[in-house]
Structure 1
Amino acid sequence: MKLFHSLTLLLLMLAGPLLAQRTFTNPIKSSGPDPWVLQKDGWYYYMNTTGRNLTLWRTRNMADLATAESKEIYTPPAGQPYSKELWAPEIHSFDGKWYVYFSADSLNNLSHRVWVIENTSADPMQGEWTMKGKIGDKADHWEIDMSVMDYNGQLYAAWSGWEGPTNGRQDIYIARLKNPWTIDGDRVKISQPDQPWEQHGDVPQAWQKNGEVPKIYVNEGPEFLRHDDKLFIVYSANACWLDYCLGLLTYNGTGGLTDPRSWTKSPAPVFVQAPENGVWAPGHGGFFRSADDKQDWMIYHANPSASDGCGNKRAPHIQPFTWNADGSPNFGKPMPKTAMPVPSGD
């Protein structure tokens, strides 16, 4: 009997970690602004804003992300125009090579542009990452939050930018790419914050001067989302220090992707904060498939309270989502911070 009890205890000890990995509780990391996940060949590759470098995490199970293998894959040399304020990194794979897109500057936010690094190794945790250069439009406008998609054999990029040098309004732009690091032709604006729910842009009190309360209207963080024959761009609206939320652009097929008439904006936000669940200012949404390719999941950052602003209290949350009868995504609302099943196949 004593031997039986000992074996039972041993089996329970061995099984404990496996049982624990079947569920997770949001947030999946204690901090992680601008999160991004790419699921490829059963691996989840994860990145978030660190501000100083580009760090890549890798795991087979999203429940283990906080303790997953990680590697600092790139640190910009001092004095380069991309050496400061590294934001919103995304890892992508095209034609057997790996690319990371990130926003960075050399002085302050006014000089933010998007840069691209490449790795030809089969394993992005190995090999050498090399700078391919700045990816921008002909006029070299301010830009952040670029994401890239292969759509029927053609690469496209979407990002947030300014119409002029400093106009206090961020719009969504799209362009074709010649290759993963070069824009082909002109940028095209497909969205600007023109709806009342996108215009909650009072700046923080610390930014105000002489009692004036200027407005900053924001569309940023665009992410492509494809489902069957439907294509969408999900973007963040309002400001990260206010009631950040997600808006939706739908490709209506009337022209090419770079035709503004081809995109229709949903009249209301498609994902908003849920104070009743302890989730404020959800934004910078991204999307990935489960390891067994059976479930659709979203990742976004959110604050634990209404007054946490745009700092490192923003933490990554994940949750599954479904599709409406018309083929559009149904994100529901931010889920409570309770145990949930991991993505299927993890």
Structure 2
Amino acid sequence: MRFRIALFFLLGLAACTAPHTSQRVTKTFTNPLLPSGADPYSIYKDGYYYYTHTTGTNLTIWKAKNLSDLKTAEKKVVWTPPPSTMYSKQIWAPEIHFIDGKWYMYFAADDGNNVNHRMYVVQNSEADPLKGTWILKGKVADASDKWAIDGNLIQHKGVWYIAWSGWEGDVNGMQNIYIAKMENPWTISGERVKISSPDLPWERNGRLGDAYVYVNEGPQFLPYKNKLHIVYSANGCWTDDYSLGLLTADANADLLDPASWKKHPKPLFVKSPENGVHAPGHNSFFKSPDGREDWILYHANDKPGQGCGGHRSPRAQRFNWNRDGTPNFGKPIRPGVQLQSPST
């Protein structure tokens, strides 16, 4: 009996002093998340992130438990446009949304002529967006049917809204941010309302050859407490000054009244030459799997002068909030730095 008691005591002591091998091991990752990929976007549903970015030729989805695992994630081309259509070329900035039990992917495309860029949406009724068939629902346009890219949706106080980047007329030179109500996921109801133009000095770095093209694009809704923000990209993607700006409205304001939206006077996220990050922009947002952390997903170049091509790659970093309720993104983090993965 004494032997059994002594043995029990020794085993208990060993258990107390042995290393806790069952403790959770903190996962880390480094940016970029993939070697290349512009205009990154993701959605979290039923334990998985569904991620997409611009490929130019089709719609592709990555499926991962954690966005830091994109390099090894399952991926699939889910939709390729039929040739010789008005939406068969230059497929840009896809976004994936889950609305009323169905999946939708919004994107901009044209027939090979940039002047004809418009927004379109495809739909899938399967529970898993990598399965089933994606069907074109049609063009997403207001009555003016002007050049349009970068649509982003939000349901606010029971009403769906879409914000996008577009031209006032039919000639390139300035991209504005517009907003409108949605009747359903593929139909804009009512007229578009312009809520931002590139009119601040820091937004007007867009020389393209002998001309200047001033840009506000890539709007992303970001609700927080009693505010509704729109984070947008400014300056041409062909410049190293591609940056993020901020529009803010009171959550109870009329979102279709331009006066409801106030523009932050300075950019919130800019290049960091000292960290080897240039032209950061065209962002989106996601929560950590446990819902406790806010993360920004964006693309950037590693070197100056790399422009709008395939050098752009997706990156992620955690952000927090300022006392006035505006997001604080900090500086773009140097590629290769070990970061803690989003918390699970």
CA distance, structure 2, for counterparts of residue 260 and residue 42 of structure 1: 38
SS at match of 1:48: strand
Q: Deviations over 1:26-59 (max 9, x none)?
A: 0010000111111222211100000010000010
Equivalent positions of 1:163-312 (< 5 A) are 163-203=168-208, 208=209, 213-242=210-239, 243-252=241-250, 255-312=253-310
Contact map agreement 1:225 1:234 (CA 8 A) in 2? yes
Contact map agreement 2:41 2:51 (CA 8 A) in 1? yes
Q: Deviations over 1:170-224 (max 9, x none)?
A: 0000000000000010000000000000001111xxxx3xxxx211000000000
CA distance, structure 2, for counterparts of residue 118 and residue 330 of structure 1: 35
**1:340 aligned partner:** 339
SS at match of 1:110: helix
**1:76 aligned partner:** 81
Letter of the aligned partner of 2:265 in structure 1?
Answer: P
Letter of the aligned partner of 1:240 in structure 2?
Answer: C
Contact map agreement 2:138 2:186 (CA 8 A) in 1? yes
CA distance, structure 2, for counterparts of residue 139 and residue 276 of structure 1: 44
TM-score by length of 1: 0.90
Q: CA deviation at 1:254?
A: 7.1
Contact map agreement 1:34 1:88 (CA 8 A) in 2? yes
Q: CA deviation at 1:152?
A: 1.8
Contact map agreement 1:91 1:98 (CA 8 A) in 2? yes
Letter of the aligned partner of 1:143 in structure 2?
Answer: A
Contact map agreement 1:51 1:85 (CA 8 A) in 2? yes
1:102 partnered with 2:125 = no
SS at match of 2:71: helix
CA distance, structure 2, for counterparts of residue 255 and residue 59 of structure 1: 37
**1:150 aligned partner:** 155
SS at match of 1:31: coil
Equivalent positions of 1:13-28 (< 5 A) are 22-28=27-33
**1:12 aligned partner:** none
CA distance, structure 2, for counterparts of residue 202 and residue 253 of structure 1: 36
Q: CA deviation at 1:253?
A: 5.1
1:160 partnered with 2:165 = yes
1:325 partnered with 2:323 = yes
Contact map agreement 1:255 1:261 (CA 8 A) in 2? no
1:87 partnered with 2:92 = yes
**1:36 aligned partner:** 41
1:136 partnered with 2:135 = no
1:127 partnered with 2:132 = yes
**2:4 aligned partner:** none
CA distance, structure 1, for counterparts of residue 251 and residue 312 of structure 2: 36
CA distance, structure 2, for counterparts of residue 331 and residue 247 of structure 1: 11
SS at match of 1:163: coil
Superposed CA RMSD in Å reads 1.4
CA distance, structure 1, for counterparts of residue 172 and residue 127 of structure 2: 42
Number of aligned residue pairs: give it.
320
CA distance, structure 2, for counterparts of residue 73 and residue 282 of structure 1: 28
Letter of the aligned partner of 2:39 in structure 1?
Answer: D
Unaligned stretches of 5+ in structure 1?
1-14
Among the aligned pairs, what percent are the same residue? Answer: 55
Contact map agreement 1:175 1:187 (CA 8 A) in 2? yes
SS at match of 2:91: strand
